[in-house]
Amino acid sequence: MRSQLVLTCLVFLCLVLGGVTGGAAKVPRKNFYKSTRCPNAEQLIRDITWSKAKNDATLGAKLLRVHYHDCFVRGCDASILLDKVGTVDSEKEARPNLSLAGFEVIDDIKKQVEAKCPGIVSCADILALSARDAVSFPFKTSMWEVDTGRKDGNISLASDVNGNLPSPFSDFATLKQIFSNKGLNVDDLVALSGAHTIGVSHCGAFSRRLFNFTGKGDMDPSLNATYAESLKKLCPNPANPNTTVEMDPLSSTSFDSNYFNILINQNKGLFQSDAALLNDKDSVIVIKKLQKDKTFFVEFAKSMQKMGAIQLLTGNAGEIRKNCRVKN
Ligand code: HEM
Ligand SMILES: *[C@@H]1O[C@H](CO)[C@@H](O)[C@H](O)[C@H]1NC(C)=O
Ligand SMILES: *[C@@H]1O[C@H](CO)[C@@H](O)[C@H](O)[C@H]1NC(C)=O
Ligand SMILES: *[C@@H]1O[C@H](CO)[C@@H](O)[C@H](O)[C@H]1NC(C)=O
Ligand SMILES: *[C@@H]1O[C@H](CO)[C@@H](O)[C@H](O)[C@H]1NC(C)=O
Ligand SMILES: *[C@@H]1O[C@H](CO)[C@@H](O)[C@H](O)[C@H]1NC(C)=O
């Protein structure tokens, strides 16, 4: 009788603990902040981000790229936001950071959120949410769901970046491998590359394709020759290091499937890594599917949720930074 009671108690305990660690407490999850002392955090972040996006059509591209760089290096833990301490370079000092921007916007959102409810909302969540909200502003609705409950990391090393972020010169096998290392498949690789429908690039990321592709003063034959000529005018050799060009020409502030249309119909992928998506038959099948806005939005949303869940710090790991640029 007594042993039965003990057993019943044990089973009950397991169910309760199971419910806490599994099920409802799973992180990241929808509306994590609803049940915290900052229930309106996500609404607040959206309002601030939208008011900023109204005056800056390029904000979505900036924040989306910072979020991507964050997630691919040490997971989505806001390590990309940390400033360097002492003499060791942090992630944002690494070479592929070139031109990452929007850090002061994150600082401002964080300051406003801390003023309302200090110590609750992580910088990693603020980055994920504001990137979504800035891209979504023109649509006046959220273009993908952002699960929340991330914690902030306390380590950021430029030396971590190498090997974790693909370069614009990567071939298909390299892209596939790096994404696979993050738990992302070819569907995700193609859908997420569609982020290049917005934003700009500096000349250095593609100028080799225009002038000296194999070291013989030649052009990359996989790049549209007419397009290459117009790029040469914008980016003469040597180019002004400050010049930027739209990655999706004439449509670089419009989040749509045009990236896939010009990639497959006109050979206008700007980087070798964009063009490389045409070199694999599974990838080409995905590109063709994503030429429709509606399909692109659905698939991009799915892949963003996967990307936003890479290697998260949750529970007791990590912290809620007071200032996104420095660990507590
Ligand atoms: C597939 C591998 C990828 C490579 C090799 C790559 C490379 C690059 C490069 C070289 C630039 C231009 C940087 C500059 O010169 O200013 C760029 C811009 C950008 N990338 Fe990617 N990227 C990749 C994937 C992604 C993903 C997965 C996302 C987001 C989901 C993303 C979002 C962006 C955005 C939004 C910009 C424009 C930034 C701005 O206008 O400020 N990229 N990317
Ligand atoms: C990117 O890295 C360079 C050094 O490689 C550094 O001078 C620059 O400030 C960094 N950019 C940002 C936004 O931190
Ligand atoms: C082209 O590349 C070759 C080999 O890397 C190099 O020797 C040459 O100086 C380059 N030419 C120009 C014009 O940049
Ligand atoms: C590039 O921009 C920097 C900072 O604004 C400026 O100091 C520099 O002179 C510019 N370089 C060129 C070649 O225009
Ligand atoms: C190159 O782009 C032009 C439009 O700018 C287009 O008419 C042409 O078909 C493209 N060529 C190739 C080979 O894709
Ligand atoms: C950094 O974070 C790790 C994991 O959360 C923790 O164990 C460690 O004590 C922290 N270190 C510092 C210096 O804050």
Least confident of 19-23, 146-150, 253-257, 298-302: 19-23
Q: Count CB-CB contacts under 10 A for residue 310.
A: 18
Confidence at residue 315, expressed as pLDDT on a 0 to 100 scale: 79
Q: Ramachandran region of residue 142, left (φ > 0), alpha (ψ -120 to 50) or beta?
A: beta
Task: Give the residue among 44, 64, 38, 47 at the shortest CA–CA distance from 149.
Answer: 38
Distance CA 16, CA 144 (A): 32
How far, rounded to the nearest angstrom, does the alpha carbon of residue 188 sit from its chain's CA centroid? 12
User: Considering every ligand atom, which ligand is closest to the CA of 238?
Assistant: 3
- Give 158-195 pLDDT, tens digit per residue: 999 999 999 999 999 999 999 999 999 999 999 999 99
Decide if 69 is catalytic.
Answer: yes
Confidence at residue 237, expressed as pLDDT on a 0 to 100 scale: 94
- Give 90-142 pLDDT, tens digit per residue: 999 987 766 899 999 999 999 999 999 999 999 999 999 999 999 999 999 99
Locate 178 and state its tokens: 């790096």
CA of residue 199 to ligand 1 center, whole Å = 8
Selected residue with higher pLDDT from 94 and 301: 301
- Give 276-291 pLDDT, tens digit per residue: 999 999 999 999 999 9
Locate 14 and state its tokens: 């397991």
Confidence at residue 101, expressed as pLDDT on a 0 to 100 scale: 92
Q: Is 242 in the pocket of ligand 4 (CB under 6 A)?
A: yes
Q: What is the position in ligand 2's atom list of the atom closest to the CA of 95?
A: 5
Confidence at residue 4, expressed as pLDDT on a 0 to 100 scale: 55
Confidence at residue 25, expressed as pLDDT on a 0 to 100 scale: 72
Q: What is the position in ligand 5's atom list of the atom closest to the CA of 267?
A: 14
pLDDT beyond 60 at 5? no
CA of residue 204 to ligand 5 center, whole Å = 23
pLDDT beyond 60 at 14? no
Listed by start position, the domains of the chain span: 32-160, 172-307
Q: What is the position in ligand 4's atom list of the atom closest to the CA of 242?
A: 1
CA of residue 196 to ligand 1 center, whole Å = 6
Q: Is 316 in the pocket of ligand 4 (CB under 6 A)?
A: no
> Which amino acid is present at 309?
A
Least confident of 97-106, 224-233, 234-243, 311-320: 97-106
| Residue range 32-160 in CATH 1.10.520.10 | yes
Superfamily of 172-307 according to CATH: Peroxidase, domain 2 (1.10.420.10)
Question: Which residues are registered as beta bridge partners of 246?
Answer: 200
Confidence at residue 24, expressed as pLDDT on a 0 to 100 scale: 52
Least confident of 18-22, 35-39, 101-105, 127-131: 18-22
Confidence at residue 1, expressed as pLDDT on a 0 to 100 scale: 45
